[in-house]
Amino acid sequence: MKAIVVHAAKDLRVEEREMPVPGPGQVLVRMAAGGICGSDLHYYQHGGFGTVRLREPMILGHEVAGHVVEVGAGVDGLSVDQLVAISPSRPCHACKFCHEGSPQHCLNMRFYGSAMPFPHIQGAFREYIVADAAQCAPADGLSAAEAAVAEPLSVCLHAARQAGDLMGKRVLVTGCGPIGQLCVLVARAAGAVEVVATDIAPFTLDMARKVGADRTINMAETPDGLEAYAADKGHFDVHFECSGAAPALAAAIPALRPGATLVQLGLGGDMTLPVQAMTAKEISFKGSFRFHEEFFTAVAMMQGGQIDVTPLVTHSFALDQAGAAFEMAADRSQAIKAQIVF
């Protein structure tokens, strides 16, 4: 079978790998669609991010969906030909964090396409994969393209859980890449009465309006675009920071009202926080990292029609066009989510 393998920065290859065989409690899935994530782009463009570096060839990909082709012994609830979204989150269920109910912080996490441990955890951009049945969310009624968005949607649902009740809240989203767009959708589904989104790219801002933002602000064209929201100690109850850019966070703090919650999703390196201003306003800072149980919720919300992710899948590429797919995924002037079609 074929797989998309990164060897170093800008060294992406489609290579042959052995066909896997499912064991007890597992299923063999024929991949149908896989979305290119920001972390995939970091490996492709830079060979890693921060202290996480490629030390061996690694199959990329963790936003995937496909059809079951073989069911292992002891598997119930899944059938051959069924479309499933596959959660890349595979905690050990044995460490202290798993026992405390925080599996996203598992000490022995096996997350698809991750160079954090060595040997690296191989990813899911391959024609066939063996997955634990517990990872597979039945995606009946969805397209493969929709089902493959379950992973990034789960990230945003976890962030919303960190933010608390969004009913009636005024929400600011900074950074309108795929995660920012999904945060707009999640905030709307959770009952936010106002959603304002900022970015520096006209295309992504236009998409944010299409999926539900009341107003968008191009911070490149109007750097003071949030100043009006700073009156009377601020306006927004919740801030989803999805850019990972220090200037975006700094510009947003004055627009947050006292007691607001800032949820940091963007991972762009170390950022300096305006601690004194945050302290004076009693702003709560919460990190949001990965997800776990939210994955099945994401699939259910798409199936129930509460969240429509179809506008966000802007490009699809065949497996042998992997290089072009990664280049397009990095182009925020015309792409939100680029997917590989297997």
Give the three-state DSSP class for 17.
coil
Residue 216 has pLDDT above 80, yes or no: yes
- In DSSP terms, 48 is beta-bridged to 53
User: Given 3.40.50.720, 2.30.40.10, 3.40.50.970, 3.40.47.40, which CATH number is that of 154-287?
Assistant: 3.40.50.720
For residue 158, the model assigns a pLDDT of 96
Neighbours of 193 (CB within 10 A): 14
Indicate the pLDDT class of residue 118, thresholds 50, 70 and 90: very high
- In DSSP terms, 313 is beta-bridged to 337
For residue 317, the model assigns a pLDDT of 98
Indicate the pLDDT class of residue 290, thresholds 50, 70 and 90: confident
For residue 259, the model assigns a pLDDT of 97
Q: How far apart are CA 72 and CA 29, in angstroms?
A: 11
Please indicate whether the domains covering 2-149+309-341 and 154-287 agree at the CATH topology level: no
pLDDT averaged over every residue in the chain: 95
Read off the pLDDT of each residue in 262-280 and give the average, rounded to a whole number.
86
In the DSSP assignment, the letter for residue 117 is S
Cα→Cα distances 328→12, 28, 178, 321, 337, Å = 14, 30, 14, 11, 9
**CA-based torsion, 288, 289, 294, 296: positive or negative:** positive
What single letter denotes the amino acid at residue 206?
A: D
Pair of tokens at residue 172: 């600011």
Q: Tell me: the pLDDT tens digits for 121-179?
A: 999 999 999 999 999 999 999 999 999 999 999 999 999 999 999 999 999 999 999 99
Residue 270 has pLDDT above 80, yes or no: no
Domain residues of the chain, as ranges?
2-149+309-341, 154-287
Distance of CA 71 to the CA centre of its chain: 28
Q: Which stretch of 45-49, 57-61, 212-216 has the lowest confidence by average pLDDT?
A: 45-49
Q: How far apart are CA 340 and CA 336, in angstroms?
A: 14
Read off the pLDDT of each residue in 184-201 and give the average, rounded to a whole number.
98
- This model's pTM is above 0.85: yes
Residue 200 has pLDDT above 90, yes or no: yes
Note the CATH number of domain 2-149+309-341.
Answer: 3.90.180.10
Read off the pLDDT of each residue in 272-291 and give the average, rounded to a whole number.
91
Indicate the pLDDT class of residue 272, thresholds 50, 70 and 90: confident
Placement of tokens 């990034």 in the chain: 152
Q: How far apart are CA 215 and CA 222, in angstroms?
A: 14
In the DSSP assignment, the letter for residue 99 is H
Residue 232 has pLDDT above 70, yes or no: yes
Residue 267 has pLDDT above 90, yes or no: no
CA nearest neighbour of 258 among 229, 234, 276? 234
For residue 266, the model assigns a pLDDT of 86
Indicate the pLDDT class of residue 293, thresholds 50, 70 and 90: confident
The C-alpha angle 154, 160, 166, rounded to 5 degrees, equals: 140
Residue 269 has pLDDT above 70, yes or no: no
**CA-based torsion, 282, 288, 291, 297: positive or negative:** positive
Q: Which stretch of 21-30, 100-109, 300-309 has the lowest confidence by average pLDDT?
A: 100-109
Alpha helices, DSSP H only, in 74-115?
96-99
The more confident residue out of 52 and 336 is 336
Pair of tokens at residue 215: 């107003």
DSSP string of 120-168, one letter each residue: -B--S-BSEEEEEGGGEEE-TTS-HHHHTTHHHHHHHHHHHHHH---TT
The more confident residue out of 292 and 34 is 34
**CA-based torsion, 114, 49, 207, 179: positive or negative:** positive
The more confident residue out of 266 and 3 is 3
Strand-pair category, 236-241 with 256-264: parallel
Distance of CA 182 to the CA centre of its chain: 9
Phi, psi of 321 (to 5 degrees): -105, 30
Alpha helices, DSSP H only, in the chain?
38-46, 96-99, 144-147, 150-163, 178-189, 202-211, 246-252, 275-280, 294-303, 322-329
Pair of tokens at residue 66: 């496909």
Q: How far apart are CA 144 and CA 325, in angstroms?
A: 17
